[in-house]
């Protein structure tokens, strides 16, 4: 059969051209609809991440208020009469500061109740002796042994046992030891979990999510202890909140749509529009072949319509991309706008302490010190937010770098800023590598900071920086320490933004440092991880390219995606 003659026939040529137009139009519509759908999904994911961050911030603030209050009560109880100190501090707490709090109790080492005050307006009978449950006894012993704040497993408070089962909330105790020159007892606050979750989120203005608070039991299973709001979507996000040596998880689901209905319908409407246009074009082509004179005019009109449809689709994709960039840039913008006001607060606080501190009473000076400490913590968080938001989009300046000299410079800078006992940091001979020198310094500096910070109290930090060949053309840089270590089930999760392992409770930090390291290493096309150090501690490692197989800056991102 002569295909050329078959296609060359006028009627058959019209069918072939119409079919080609139809396939092209449907293909173009499918590609545009797929891109629009992916962009909408990305925008929804970014919005869910923002809502989850607001939930975490609200709970972190509430738990910090509990920690500050417990430390204040413990300090006052150690230095004066517990009942007098408790009356003074309870009057300062005021209503609404401690969401979900039921009662604060000061107990002696023999379980004698030295003082007790309710915080929720109830009037439970006075107790002269604490009769703790086995779970509470374990918490008291652990707080005494560790010297730090401890949370008990969830249970029903004795004051709620007479309520109908449907009205009984799960609750827990926060336990802080009391010390001066010796152990004096404990301060205990009972907290209703559902009241805490509801009031903390409402107080922070978080009303567009449903949240479920879960705890991890000693057997490793998870169980729900509190719930807030309801969900309107099957999408959800998990966030980890370590509190006082206890593992908590919050499941966040949107209570309102993550993106507008119009944006949800963009992709299917784009596909439908492309299909309609494609069929119209095909029909136009068939009709055009019936008259040679009108064929050229109709074909030009069809081409113009197709171009217009593609232009509309491209404009919709650009709009969704712009929204995605706005969401990803939110953290950076917020950090930059907060930086100057926080510096102003810190400066005026220091000025007040220098100029008028002698004229203030001890409580007022304590408030100023607390304002200064909280401001510095917020400044550290803002700085790390800015670093994290900029790390993923940094323009790489790849060059051969003497890793030994650069690492020694980073270590020297850290040692110069250390107060008190200086850590032991050994830097072995390191190779010449192909990296961005500034970003490499950020990674090494963060890992060395962690190695010197997360050590047991009273123990000097010992850190070793070394290197070995990972695979041909790639080096593995290792930062080994003798610190508190990282449990095996946390070795992947600690590289997530804001995640902190339960063992890190009580140590300063924002949970962003390792996430910044992972972004920088990904940008270089490498890998990062942590292993147990034989004999105790951890070995944090990351891979970088040797000088002979250097990545081009434009290819580093794709190499990270493909797993090198």
Instruction: Please compute the mean of the pLDDT values over residues 453-468 and round it to a whole number.
Output: 86
Length of the chain counted residue by residue: 564
Q: Is 307 exposed, middle or buried (0-12, 13-18, 19+ CB in 10 A)?
A: exposed
Summarised one tens digit per residue, pLDDT across range 245-267 is: 777 889 999 888 877 666 566 66
**Domain 86-254 top-level CATH class:** alpha beta
β-bridge mates for residue 129, sequence order = 112
Judged on CB neighbours under 10 Å (0-12, 13-18, 19+), 304 is exposed
Per-domain boundaries in the chain: 3-47+261-327, 86-254, 330-374, 398-561
Read off the pLDDT of residues 520-552 as tens digits, 9 standing for 90 and up.
999 889 999 999 998 888 999 999 999 865 555
Name, in order, each residue with C-beta under 8 angstroms of 480's C-beta and a sequence gap of 6 or more. Answer: 451, 463, 464, 465, 466, 533, 537, 538, 539, 540
Residue with tokens 């107990």: 107
Banded pLDDT at 563 (limits 50, 70, 90): very low
Summarised one tens digit per residue, pLDDT across range 331-350 is: 556 556 665 677 678 777 77
Residue 480 and residue 455: Cα distance in Å, rounded? 12
Q: Is 88 left (phi over 0), alpha (psi -120 to 50) or beta?
A: alpha
The reported pTM is: 0.48
Evaluate whether 353 touches 365 at the Cβ level (below 8 Å).
yes
pLDDT at 466 over 90: yes
Predicted confidence band of residue 556 (pLDDT cuts 50, 70, 90): very low
Average pLDDT, the chain: 78
The band of 564, judged by pLDDT with boundaries at 50, 70 and 90, is: very low
Task: List Cα–Cα distances, 373 to 96, 204, 290, 346, 452, in angstroms.
Answer: 22, 22, 83, 9, 21
Main-chain phi, psi angles of 179, to 5 degrees:
-130, 145
Task: Report the top-level CATH class of 398-561.
Answer: alpha beta
How much of the chain exceeds pLDDT 70, in percent? Answer: 72
* Rounded to 5°, angle at Cα 462 from 456 and 466: 135
Report phi then psi at 247, rounded to 5.
Answer: -95, 125
Query: Tens of pLDDT along 167-223?
Result: 889 998 999 999 888 888 999 999 999 998 898 888 888 888 889 999 887 777 888
pLDDT at 74 (0 to 100): 82
Query: What pLDDT was estimated at residue 553?
Result: 47
What pLDDT was estimated at residue 90?
67
Vertex 197, ends 191 and 203: CA angle to 5°?
Answer: 110
Helix (H, G, I), strand (E, B) or coil at 419: coil
Give the per-residue pLDDT at 324.
41
Residues in Cβ contact with 305 at an 8 Å cutoff, skipping those fewer than 6 apart? 277, 280, 281
């Amino acid at each position: 059969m002569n295909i050329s003659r078959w296609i060359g026939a006028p009627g058959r040529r019209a069918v072939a051209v119409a079919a080609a137009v139809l396939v092209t139009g449907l293909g173009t519509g499918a590609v545009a609809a797929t891109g629009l759908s992916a962009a909408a999904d990305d925008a929804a994911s970014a919005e869910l991440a923002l809502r989850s961050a607001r939930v975490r911030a609200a709970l972190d603030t509430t738990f910090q208020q509990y920690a500050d209050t417990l430390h204040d009560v413990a300090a006052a109880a150690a230095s004066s009469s517990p009942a007098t100190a408790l009356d003074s501090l309870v009057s300062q707490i005021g209503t609404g500061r401690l969401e979900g709090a039921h009662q604060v109790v000061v107990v002696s080492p023999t379980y004698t109740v030295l003082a007790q005050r309710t915080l929720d307006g109830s009037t439970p009978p006075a107790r002269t002796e604490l009769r703790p449950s086995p779970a509470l006894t374990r918490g008291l012993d652990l707080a005494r042994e560790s010297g730090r704040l401890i949370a008990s497993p969830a249970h029903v408070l004795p004051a709620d046992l007479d309520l109908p089962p449907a009205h009984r909330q799960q609750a827990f105790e926060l336990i802080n030891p009391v010390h001066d020159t010796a152990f004096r007892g404990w301060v205990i606050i009972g907290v209703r979990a559902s009241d805490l979750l509801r009031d903390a989120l409402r107080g922070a203005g978080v009303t567009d999510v449903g949240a479920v608070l879960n705890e991890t039991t000693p057997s490793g299973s998870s169980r729900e202890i509190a719930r807030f709001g309801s969900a309107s979507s099957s999408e959800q996000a998990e966030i980890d909140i370590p509190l006082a040596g206890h593992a908590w998880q919050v499941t966040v689901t949107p209570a309102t749509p993550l993106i507008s209905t119009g944006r949800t319908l963009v992709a299917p409407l784009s596909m439908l529009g492309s299909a309609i246009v494609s069929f119209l074009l095909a029909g136009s082509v068939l009709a055009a072949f019936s008259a040679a004179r009108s064929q050229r005019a109709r074909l030009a009109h069809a081409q113009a319509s197709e171009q217009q449809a593609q232009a509309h689709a491209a404009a919709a994709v650009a709009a969704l991309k712009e929204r995605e960039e706005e969401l990803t840039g939110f953290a950076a913008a917020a950090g930059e706008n907060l930086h100057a006001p926080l510096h102003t607060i810190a400066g005026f606080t220091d000025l007040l302490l220098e100029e008028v501190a002698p004229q203030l009473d001890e409580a007022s000076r304590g408030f100023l010190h607390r304002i200064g400490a909280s401001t510095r913590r917020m400044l550290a968080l803002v700085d790390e937010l800015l670093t994290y938001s900029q790390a993923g989009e940094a323009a790489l300046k790849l060059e051969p770098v003497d890793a030994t000299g650069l690492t020694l410079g980073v270590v020297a800078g850290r040692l110069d800023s250390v107060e008190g006992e200086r850590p032991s940091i050994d830097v072995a001979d390191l190779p010449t590598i192909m990296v961005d020198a500034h970003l490499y310094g950020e990674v090494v500096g963060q890992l060395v900071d962690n190695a010197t910070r997360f050590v047991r109290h009273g123990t000097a930090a010992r850190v070793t920086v070394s290197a070995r060949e990972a695979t041909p053309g790639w080096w593995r840089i290792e930062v080994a320490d003798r610190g508190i270590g990282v449990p095996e089930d946390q070795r992947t999760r600690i590289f997530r933004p804001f995640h902190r392992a339960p063992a890190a409770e009580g140590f300063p930090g924002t949970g962003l440092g390792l996430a910044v390291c992972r972004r920088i290493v990904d940008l270089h096309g490498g890998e990062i991880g942590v292993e147990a150090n034989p004999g105790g501690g951890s070995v944090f490692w990351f891979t970088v390219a040797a000088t002979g197989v250097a990545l081009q800056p434009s290819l580093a991102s794709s190499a990270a995606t493909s797993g090198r």
